[in-house]
């Protein structure tokens, strides 16, 4: 009998109003049901938003350092349950245990960072132009935050959003991805155990069209934070515009790693293997393109082929597994279709390009790590986000050409260059159009205390992580205190002779 999960609304675990449910299955073994979850709709969202709006009036009055104390307890509980959470995550989304442990650790780091921010929600004091008057700007909560998250980092990304939202004094309506609802439920359970009051955090399971868009379009949701595809992000922006609510969008990427002819090739190889095939390539920061200087192109490509073919596919819970499955059949089919597109466009298949059979692979959504060479910037596999274990290799004759190739997409999230020349490194930092640039490191590996986000169609300018996310989840209030005892007029000419 599969475990039954519920929504959490206004302090109670409840079924969807419709009574409908959906199954969550293990992508490495589709016969294994992780649990059944409520297939919610607009009525469930309405209830959650009402609860969050009511709870906001109490929660906003709790001092930020006290809210920070709760975040610290959340971190402690996550430390105690780290292995359990990691194994649950691998069962429902497939990536290997080393990665799911890292996903949980990212949440732990974010919790402790949030705890400290409870005593660092700094404002500003500035001199007044008038006598006996005090000017300051302070940070205040916004209201009800709608949180819509993806499946590839089912613990880390929700914590990037929910912890700052709560720390700033907002309440939350949380819609996790339908592919990873169990991990999301565990996070809510931890928040409750840590002391988050009733109504402050609500979780509503279900599809993006029914639940996600109901949250986005709800007139009493004050801000929305979304991570997902650029296509969906544009739709969210349109729907949210009708109520002029604040929206943070962290969207797609087509990230590239450059390897110059003076690079340490063995280091660059380790970087691209991790960047391209970690999380089965299912990261917004994944290395989807590899741009090689022509002088080392052939040598490096042979090194890459040999190492890629040694990667071990399998269940992420098993020791020795390097690459897990795609999240579901649709994603496996997407990867398969892009491999076919690459071949039709004239790119050369170096390795991979197939769905593996046998050794337990038939029950899961696996796809062999794939490398294409002779890829040109105009090819679709060099321009479109695939979100799978497919790497496109391009050849460049100079740093300038490599950077031009890297910048030639609608996206601008992460980027990487391997070089031993400091001048080239700093030119790359200056000229690459991306929110993140790594020098001699892969395109993946963001740290919780640093801003995270991109440019162009990767987002709408906001950043997650670090101190910057607290700007999104709080409002500035300007305060003037006049203790002169008389009327002072600031917005007229006080400088007349």
- What b/e sequence results for 328-339 when a residue is b if at least 16 CB atoms lie within 10 Å of its CB, and e otherwise? beebbebbbebb
Residue 182 CA to residue 4 CA, distance in Å, equals 10
Residue 12 CA to residue 88 CA, distance in Å, equals 23
Instruction: Order across the sheet with 133-141: list the strands.
Output: 124-127, 133-141, 474-482
Spatial contact of 164 and 473, defined as CB atoms under 8 Å apart: yes
Q: Which of 285, 308, 296 is nearest to 261 (CA)?
A: 296
User: Cα–Cα distances in Å, from 395 out to 77, 125, 385, 402, 490?
Assistant: 48, 54, 20, 8, 62
Rg of the chain taking only CA atoms, in angstroms: 24
Return the ∠ at Cα 202 (arms to 200 and 203), rounded to 5°: 155
Return the ∠ at Cα 47 (arms to 41 and 51), rounded to 5°: 145
Residue 42 CA to residue 48 CA, distance in Å, equals 10
Catalytic entry in 106, 210, 250, 464: 250
CA dihedral 433, 447, 237, 179 (to 10 degrees): 120
Spatial contact of 243 and 214, defined as CB atoms under 8 Å apart: no
- Would you mind telling me the total number of residues written for the chain in this entry? 497
Spatial contact of 464 and 248, defined as CB atoms under 8 Å apart: yes
Catalytic entry in 284, 326, 385, 464: 284
Q: How many other CB atoms sit within 10 Å of the CB of residue 314?
A: 21
User: Cα–Cα distances in Å, from 73 out to 8, 436, 464, 488?
Assistant: 20, 31, 22, 48
Is 284 annotated in the active site?
yes
User: Cα–Cα distances in Å, from 418 out to 253, 292, 428?
Assistant: 20, 10, 10
Exposed, middle or buried: residue 496 (CB in 10 Å: 0-12, 13-18, 19+)?
A: exposed
Instruction: Give backbone dihedrals phi and psi of 492, rounded to 5 degrees, phi first.
Output: -130, 175
Instruction: Order across the sheet with 370-373: list the strands.
Output: 348-351, 370-373, 390-396, 287-293, 255-259, 414-418, 436-439
Active site residues: 250, 284
């Amino acid at each position: 009998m599969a475990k039954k999960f519920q929504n959490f609304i206004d302090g109670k675990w409840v079924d969807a109003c419709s009574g409908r449910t959906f199954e969550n299955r293990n992508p490495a073994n589709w016969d294994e049901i992780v649990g059944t979850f409520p297939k919610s709709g607009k009525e469930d969202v309405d209830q959650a938003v009402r609860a969050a709006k009511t709870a906001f009036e109490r929660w906003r009055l709790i001092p930020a350092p006290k809210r920070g104390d709760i975040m610290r307890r959340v971190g402690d509980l996550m430390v105690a349950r780290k292995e359990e959470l990691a194994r649950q995550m691998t069962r429902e989304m497939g990536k290997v245990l080393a990665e799911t442990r890292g996903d949980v650790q990212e949440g732990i780091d974010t919790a402790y960072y949030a705890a400290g921010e409870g005593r660092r929600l700094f404002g500003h004091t500035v001199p007044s132009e008038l006598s006996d008057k005090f000017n300051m700007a302070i940070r205040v909560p916004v209201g009800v935050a709608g949180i819509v998250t993806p499946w590839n980092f089912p613990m880390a990304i929700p914590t990037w959003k929910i912890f700052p939202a709560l720390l700033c004094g907002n309440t939350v309506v949380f819609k996790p991805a339908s592919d990873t609802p169990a991990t999301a439920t565990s996070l809510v359970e931890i928040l409750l155990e840590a002391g988050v009051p009733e109504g402050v955090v609500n979780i509503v399971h279900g599809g993006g069209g029914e639940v996600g868009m109901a949250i986005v379009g709800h007139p009493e949701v004050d801000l929305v934070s979304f991570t997902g595809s650029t296509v969906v992000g544009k739709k969210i922006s349109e729907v949210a515009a009708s109520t002029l609510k604040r929206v943070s969008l962290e969207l797609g990427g087509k990230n590239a790693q450059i390897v110059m002819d003076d690079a340490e090739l063995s280091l660059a190889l380790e970087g691209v293997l991790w960047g391209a095939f970690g999380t089965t390539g299912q990261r917004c920061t994944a290395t989807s393109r590899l741009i090689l200087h022509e002088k080392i192109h052939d040598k490096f490509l042979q090194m890459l082929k040999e190492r890629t073919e040694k990667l071990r596919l399998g269940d992420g819970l098993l020791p020795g597994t390097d690459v897990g499955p795609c999240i579901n059949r649709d994603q496996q089919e997407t990867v398969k279709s892009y491999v076919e597109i690459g071949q039709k466009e004239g790119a050369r298949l170096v390795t991979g390009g197939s769905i593996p059979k046998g050794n337990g692979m038939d029950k899961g959504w696996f796809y062999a790590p794939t490398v294409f060479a002779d890829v040109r910037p105009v090819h679709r596999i060099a321009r479109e986000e695939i979100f799978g274990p497919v790497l496109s290799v391009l050849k460049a004759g100079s740093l300038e050409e490599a950077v031009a190739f890297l910048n030639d997409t609608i996206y601008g999230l992460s980027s990487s260059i391997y070089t031993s020349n400091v001048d080239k490194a700093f030119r790359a930092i200056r000229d690459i159009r991306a929110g993140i640039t790594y020098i001699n490191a892969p395109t993946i590996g963001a740290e919780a205390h640093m801003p995270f986000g991109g440019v162009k169609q990767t987002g709408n300018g906001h950043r997650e992580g670090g101190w910057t996310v607290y700007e999104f989840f709080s409002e500035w209030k300007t305060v003037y205190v006049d203790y002169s005892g008389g009327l002072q007029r600031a917005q007229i000419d006080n400088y007349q002779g």
